[in-house]
Amino acid sequence: MQHFGAVRSLITLMFLALLGSCGSGSSAPGVAIAPPPPGGLDTDVQRVFTQVSFASPVGLMQAPGDNTRWFAVEQSGIIRVFDNDQNVVQGDVDVFVDIRGRVASGGERGLLGMAFHPNFAANGQVFLSYTSVGALTSIISRFTVDAGTGNLDDMSETVILSVPQENSNHNGGNIAFNPFDGFLYVGFGDGGGGGDPNERAQDTTYILGSMVRIDVNGASPYDIPSTNLFFGNAKCVDGMGTTDCPEIYAWGLRNPWRWSFDSQTGDLWVGDVGQGQWEEVDRVELGMNYGWDDREGAHCFDPAPGCLTNNVDPITEYDHGQGQSITGGFVYRGTANANLQGFYVFGDYVSGRIWAVDSTSAQGTSPTEIDITSLNISSFAQGVDGELYAVDHGGGGIYQIVDAP
């Protein structure tokens, strides 16, 4: 994975095409990558469920409070389910739902996110995020389980939110419920095209370039939480409004591809994919602006120099000598790796590197490199038990984050 320019071209065709960014892949000056301390955070990735693999997987998760099964999200539009058994074989993997006929897949498009309702065991509700066929649109929908089959009923779809996309990249796509407030969060990229040409990420009359927070337990299709910054404004239709969008939780993001909540504190951790030089990790808070496209990471982008600085800098960042497409992870809350407890773990899709940063870190903290892998890390996963896994988009395998031997 050393020839970043060639790999970048391949990624453009395959998955996370970062238009207008990255040239030679030469390292930019800035934050130094800290080596792992002796006997400290150094980790390894270990292939698990070795007899199963998936086609271009972009997500892996368990239902709330249920550690008996795993659900793998394939970019083409299929979700597969299998037992949490290391001896499971490919023939035992079932289809939980297949919506390929509705999904535009390829590049950064596809079935990109899945979230179980916190009360899934009782109501059988699952929310999916995908880019639709026809007019390129990001769709957030609710589905319910068929009581007869135990699988998701593909005919039960209710569209919750529909946002037209301006380009085929930077579609974001991750969705998740905050375990503390119960609201559904959705990440949207800036609309694509290099350098945010339409300035969406800094325009709060557009949902693009933001984290959205909505209440799907109230009125149809959703209510606005009363603590959202722009609560009281009319909902944004098709992702735009005449006033600030009340759905917005935070903004100034380029492409929040993968993000998560700390299961112990509820903090929102976002890996925001960079442009030409910097990949960043943000600890996102209500009503805050995270800088794109005035700034890329903690550095001026538009204009350079002399950009606006009335925004929140990242907790950590790394330059394109280390990797070129961040994949956000999780704060480790498991028990198998005591040294990693309380650290936010994240990686890079292009270089396969994995880093960690203490979850109590202030802005500008250097990340600690904890492993170098050969994986195209499209997503991390966290089990009910708090253990962490990495999903290999290219090879289709699942790997657990374990102590280095």
- CA 250 remoteness from chain centre: 15
Distance, in Å, from the CA atom of 210 to the CA atom of 109, rounded to the nearest integer, reads: 18
DSSP state of 124: -
All domains of the chain, ordered by start, with CATH?
4-403 (2.120.10.30)
Spatial distance between the Cα atoms of 126 and 35, rounded to a whole number of angstroms:
40
Q: Using the predicted structure, report yes or no on whether residue 6 has a pLDDT greater than 80.
A: no
Q: For residues 290 and 311, is the Cβ–Cβ distance under 8 A?
A: yes
The pLDDT value given to residue 41:
86
Task: State residue 222's pLDDT score.
Answer: 98
- Please give the single-letter amino acid code of residue 331: V
| CB-facing half-sphere around the CA of 333: CA atoms within 13 A | 17
Query: Are the beta carbons of 211 and 187 closer than 8 angstroms?
Result: yes
Q: Report the chain's C-alpha Rg in angstroms.
A: 20
Question: For the chain, how long is the longest CA-to-CA vector?
Answer: 61
Question: Per residue in 319-358, pLDDT tens?
Answer: 999 999 999 999 999 999 999 999 999 999 999 999 999 9
Are 283 and 268 in contact by the 8 Å Cβ rule? The answer is yes
What letter would DSSP give residue 123? H
CA atoms within 13 A on the CB side of 26: 3
Residue with token string 């209440």: 215
Cα–Cα nearest to 173, from 200, 140, 142, 206: 140
* DSSP calls for 131-190: EBSSS-EEEEEEEEE-TTTSSEEEEEEEEEEEEE-SSSS-----EEE-TTT--EEEE---
Rounded Cα distance, 126 and 137, in Å: 20
User: CA angle, 21 as apex, 319 and 205 as ends, to 5°?
Assistant: 100
Model pTM score: 0.92
pLDDT tens, position by position, 254-307: 999 999 999 999 999 999 999 999 999 999 999 999 999 999 999 999 999 999
pLDDT tens digits for 53-65?
999 999 999 999 9
**DSSP H or E stretch at residue 120:** helix 120-123
